[in-house]
Amino acid sequence: MKKVTKGLVVVSLVTAMLVMTVGEAFAFPGGTWVSGVTVANLTSETATVAITFYNDSGGVALNYDGGTIAGNGAKTYYIPNVSGLPTGFIGSAVVSSDKEVAAIVNTQFPSGTSPTRVGTSTGVGSPAQTVYASQLMKGYYGWNSYCAVQNTGSSAASVTATFYDDTGAVADTDTHSIPAYASYIFDQETDSELSAGFNGSAKFEGDASHPLAVVCNFYNTGAAASSSQFHSYNGMGAGAQTLYVPRVVKDYYYYQSGLKVQNIGSAALTVNVEYNIGGSTYNQTSPSIGVGQSWGPYMGDESQLPATMAGVSGSGSAVITVNSPTSAKVIIATVNEDNRTNPAGRGVTYEAALTADASTTMVFPQVTAEYYGFSSGIQVQKVTAGTANCQANYSAAGGIAAFSDSFALTDASPSWSQFAPNASGMNSGPANDDYNGAVTIVCTGGDVIGISNLSYRYDIDTRYGNVTGDSFTTARGINK
């Protein structure tokens, strides 16, 4: 993330791509949708925050004083409570501060709605001229998708979207003018040029003066709690020949992972996926993936995995590597995790990490432990050889004093996970934590990446009754 100081022009601000709606709009999922934004202060000094909201038709909707955030702390802004925004607002925003900050964004049904639906994306600190989306759908076994594309330039921009089907063929090309700092919704469900059953990927192109920030959401029908899955992920402006996946699961408490690897280079390629589950490794080679095309297995279907993984269950990590690498072979990937059985209807998506993303310090803006029924997990993966000695530093929140937990990552065990209610400094006993704060990972001896997730855990905290639907969210850690 870039450090932001007062007096800089707006294009230098830390940018958060926010899809915010408090009323039904377009054709994407019916119901009332809202957003929540959590901003984390990445420094030890107090940060002063401002949020500028932009209408999707262009122009400033509201300049909002976000107040201050204590050093290494975080603050959540629930958009329906932001005074001055009109009812039915849908648009984008720029978050700025006099200190280095990061943000995550929830797109969700309002609190208390049943069934629950929510997805989480990350504020975009480095918009790009070309941004890719690995997983889009139209009427695909009941699933649809849309992408919100924000023009982060100071004048209107012409943005072109190219959609690829599952064979790698171009299925449609759309061009739209987007006003300065505003966003446009590319809605696959209402795109008449895409055929029913479309399951593919996309490329969004601006220009050097108008870099883009992109968030995509794909979702099930929502007809019942069991089909409430709502997945959010960030479009990616850069790829690599090696990608890191801090969490994959197979037959793990009814949860299953899936991968989508997109070829964003200029030549066909294959990849090797090395899964590390329970201390054992398993390798899978993909078929040929054409330019623009995406490929990936659903780990709940053993026919899509190598025979060596038959009967394997558990959680772990993965590394995706281009075979016979050349400069023309570049990939990105997203990672899905869902539960179709118990409790059915939960799902998340996050972006696989590049080596360039990793560092020795990483921040999770929002981690919870028995907070209004929600609890989080943290997953950390090292990307360098050797042993990395790390600490998870929990900030003070909800009556919990600041504390740290130590762990080591080795070549044999390259990933580590922690369920926040089990962290050493949490209060003992059921339903007695109420932690909602930031967590900072600090390591020596190696660089790391990671994710945090949260979901409603009635089995852990029974104070607020049970909820149904998709309460499951995941976001990438912010590397400093």
Residues whose CB is less than 8 angstroms from the CB of residue 448 and which lie 6 or more positions away in sequence, other chains included: 358, 359, 360, 362, 380, 381, 382, 383, 388, 390, 409, 441
Q: What are the phi and psi torsion angles at 422 (to 5°)?
A: -95, 0
Q: pTM for this structure?
A: 0.92
Instruction: Return d(Cα 456, Cα 453) in angstroms, integer.
Output: 11
Q: What is the pLDDT of residue 16?
A: 38
Instruction: Return d(Cα 373, Cα 352) in angstroms, integer.
Output: 28
Place 405 in a pLDDT band, splitting at 50, 70 and 90: very high
Let me know: does 136 contact 149? Beta carbons within 8 Å: no
Q: Tens digit of pLDDT for each residue in 345-355?
A: 999 999 999 99
Instruction: Parse the chain into domains and list their residue ranges.
Output: 10-121, 130-234, 242-355, 358-479
CA angle 280, 282, 287 (to 5 degrees): 170
Q: What is the CATH number of domain 358-479?
A: 2.60.290
DSSP 114: S
Let me know: does 126 contact 102? Beta carbons within 8 Å: no
Whether domain 242-355 has CATH 2.60.290.11: the reply is yes
b or e along 52-62 (b: 16 or more beta carbons within 10 Å of the residue's beta carbon)? Answer: bbbbbeeeebb
Structural Rg of the chain based on CA atoms: 21
Per-residue pLDDT averaged across 52-69, rounded?
A: 93
Q: What are the phi and psi torsion angles at 108 (to 5°)?
A: -155, 165
Place 399 in a pLDDT band, splitting at 50, 70 and 90: confident
**Coil, strand or helix at 357:** helix
Work out whether strand 130-138 and strand 230-234 pair parallel, antiparallel, or are unpaired. Answer: unpaired
In this structure, which topology does domain 130-234 adopt according to CATH?
A: Hypothetical Protein Tm1070; Chain: A (2.60.290)
In the chain, the percentage of residues whose pLDDT exceeds 70 is 94
- According to the per-residue pLDDT averaged within each range, which of 44-48, 78-82, 282-286 is highest? 282-286
As assigned by CATH, the class of the 10-121 domain is mainly beta
Statement: residue 311 has pLDDT above 90 = yes
Q: What is the pLDDT of residue 228?
A: 95
Q: Do domains 10-121 and 242-355 have the same CATH topology?
A: yes
